[in-house]
Amino acid sequence: MVELVLVPLAETSSRANHTGLWRTLKPVIDYSSCIRCEICWKFCPDNAINLEDGRKTPAPNQKVIAFSIPVIDYDYCKGCGICANECPEKCIEMNFEEE
Amino acid sequence: MPTSIPEQELMEPGHTACQGCGATLAMRYVLKALGKKTVVSVPASCWAVIPGAMPNRTLDIPMVYTPFAATGASISGLREALDIRGDSDYNVVGFAGDGGTADIGLQSLSGAMERGHNVFYIMYDNEGYMNTGVQRSGSTPYGAETTTTPVGLDRNFKKQQKKVVADIMMAQGVPYVATATIAYPEDLIRKVQNAKKTNGPKFIQILAPCPTGWYYPPEKTIEVSRMAVQSRMFPLYEYSMGTFRLTRPSKPVSVKEYVQSQKRFSHMDEDEISILQEEVDRRWEGLLEKETH
Ligand SMILES: Cc1ncc(C[n+]2csc(CCOP(=O)(O)OP(=O)(O)O)c2C)c(N)n1
Ligand code: SF4
Ligand code: SF4
Ligand code: SF4
Ligand SMILES: [Mg+2]
């Protein structure tokens, strides 16, 4: 039997849409004070923060060195500022984008 | 650090919600709780446009668009069809806004719940018709300014109190009913997972603050969501198998502090704020009473 598709199907990922272009404020993480609590990752509405291996990244202390670090994907970050606002260490700074 | 919520992401980046949108977090957490074997039905709402234009999709699971009033009917049909196909292990989720739930979709919702299908109905509550430009809904709280309740010289803000659909669902006898909000993702995810244990209809109302329609800066979305609970404007509860549990806010704040965090309430004077505070207190007392019965 031939399978007919009777409804329009959306097949490409929204990853094709680089919403980072919307940004006017850019969050920048200072890893030397980041305690790797993942709060910024948890609250990002754009899924623009990934958790990555941070064993080679400077850390505020040795206890957290094995934990993942949050890495912002600027292709998608819209610059809402939630991460900076919720970070308990206040180690995310929002800077104006340059031209 | 072991993550406090599931790591799996079924909502992809690149979606077209406003900066700091609470509704996207509601979807992100619900899908973390349910996993890949899930089908979502979405009516006309912000979530109908958040995935972006054809041919883009932002969810890694099947998502069906349904007419504005028909979310309840659509999840009934999806459930029955999947069961006939032998796909009973799929979660069927209606994911609708407050306008689509408290107003136009209420009869469809109530019917689906009454028929007893094994479905989730998630109402993401941004307290207004946001996708069409911030009109008032039954779920808009007293005092709010919207484009259909413009304050102006006549102080024409919304005069009616919020209609709480979760309370209606409890009164109807839906086996699992809960309220949650995005500032507490662990609680939200635990409730969705608890709901899954109920083989029958379940209803969860998620407060999802909207910077665009509540007129506050986008970085405050989590803060506003947290304050809604602390001020008891949006009490968190869980009603399961006849047992009711209410969450006591750890750091209570006044309704006045809450309304001051958003420009939609900025016109309110002391008397109007106390009308709202009284309603909040009245409802809280009612919920406390429910706990003892
Ligand atoms: C029958 C019908 N009436 C009106 C509309 C227009 N419409 C599309 S989305 C929307 C608002 C939805 O509000 P809500 O359910 O609260 O979701 P939100 O946009 O706030 O996420 C309206 C009125 C429609 N699509 N269908
Ligand atoms: S919230 Fe702050 S401290 Fe926590 S992981 Fe993110 S940047 Fe680091
Ligand atoms: S600014 Fe907003 S979108 Fe960008 S990483 Fe932070 S939370 Fe995510
Ligand atoms: S209007 Fe509000 S709910 Fe809709 S996408 Fe924008 S922030 Fe989200
Ligand atoms: Mg709405």
Would the pTM count as exceeding 0.95? yes
Please check the confidence at residue A45 and state whether its pLDDT lies above 70: yes
Kindly state the tokens that stand for B252: 């209570």
CA of B159 to the centre of ligand 3 (A): 36
CATH number at residue B77: 3.40.50.970
pLDDT for B55: 87
Kindly state the tokens that stand for B97: 């806004």
- Specify the DSSP element, H or E, that contains B196: helix B185-196
As beta bridge partners, residue A71 has A50
Is residue A7 very low, low, confident or very high in pLDDT (cuts 50, 70, 90)? Answer: confident
Task: Determine contact, residues B161/B131, Cβ cutoff 8 Å.
Answer: no
Percentage above 70 pLDDT, chain B: 99
pLDDT for B258: 98
pLDDT for B54: 83
Ligand 1 probe mutation, B18, B46, B205, B206, most atoms within 8 A of CB: B46
Backbone dihedral angles phi then psi of residue B64, each to the nearest 5 degrees: -110, 135
Question: CB distance from A22 to chain B under 8 Å?
Answer: yes
CA distance B247 to B238: 9
Residue with tokens 């623009």: A48
pLDDT for B242: 87
CA B98 to chain centre: 7
Which residue, judged by its Cα, is nearest atom 4 of ligand 1? B68
CA distance B74 to B119: 11
Neighbours of ion ligand 5 (CB under 5 A): B 97-99, 126, 130
B83-108 confidence digits (pLDDT tens): 999 999 999 999 999 999 999 999 99
Q: Residue type at A43? A: F
Q: What is the β-pairing status of strands A49-52 and A69-72?
A: antiparallel
**How buried is residue B290: exposed, middle or buried, by Cβ count under 10 Å (0-12/13-18/19+)?**
middle
CB contact under 8 A, B14 and A76: yes
Please check the confidence at residue A8 and state whether its pLDDT lies above 80: no
CB contact under 8 A, A46 and B15: yes
Full residue range of the structural domain in which residue B160 is found: 22-292
Of residues B261 and B293, more confidence is placed in B261
Kindly state the tokens that stand for B175: 């086996």
CA distance B40 to A41: 24
Task: Determine contact, residues B66/B91, Cβ cutoff 8 Å.
Answer: no
Q: Work out the average pLDDT over A69-92.
A: 98
Kindly state the tokens that stand for B289: 């009473």
CA B59 to chain A, closest CA, distance in angstroms equals 8
B166-200 confidence digits (pLDDT tens): 999 999 999 999 999 999 999 999 999 999 999 99
B31-66 confidence digits (pLDDT tens): 999 999 999 999 999 999 999 888 889 999 999 999
State the total domains in chain B.
1
Q: For chain A, give every domain's residue range.
A: 18-96
Residue B213 is assigned to a structural domain of this protein: yes
Kindly state the tokens that stand for A36: 């790797």
Contacts of B40 in chain A (CB under 8 A): none
Q: Work out the average pLDDT over A85-90.
A: 98
Please check the confidence at residue B116 and state whether its pLDDT lies above 90: yes
The tally of CA atoms less than 13 A away on the side-chain side of residue B266 is 9
**Edge-to-edge strand order for the sheet containing B91-97?**
B63-66, B38-43, B91-97, B120-125, B202-207, B176-181, B237-240, B243-246
Residue B12 is assigned to a structural domain of this protein: no
CA distance B275 to B284: 14
Please check the confidence at residue B77 and state whether its pLDDT lies above 90: yes
The dihedral built from the CA positions of residue B5, B11, B15 and B17, taken in this order, carries a sign that is: negative
CB contact under 8 A, B58 and A13: yes
Evaluate the omega torsion of the peptide bond into residue B2 and state whether it is cis, within 30 degrees of 0: no
Residue with tokens 């029955």: B80
CA distance B103 to B37: 30
Q: Residue type at B6? A: P
Please check the confidence at residue A5 and state whether its pLDDT lies above 90: no
pLDDT for A1: 59
Domain A18-96 of CATH type 3.30.70.20: yes
Percentage above 70 pLDDT, chain A: 97
pLDDT for B44: 98
Q: Work out the average pLDDT over B196-222.
A: 98
pLDDT for A2: 67
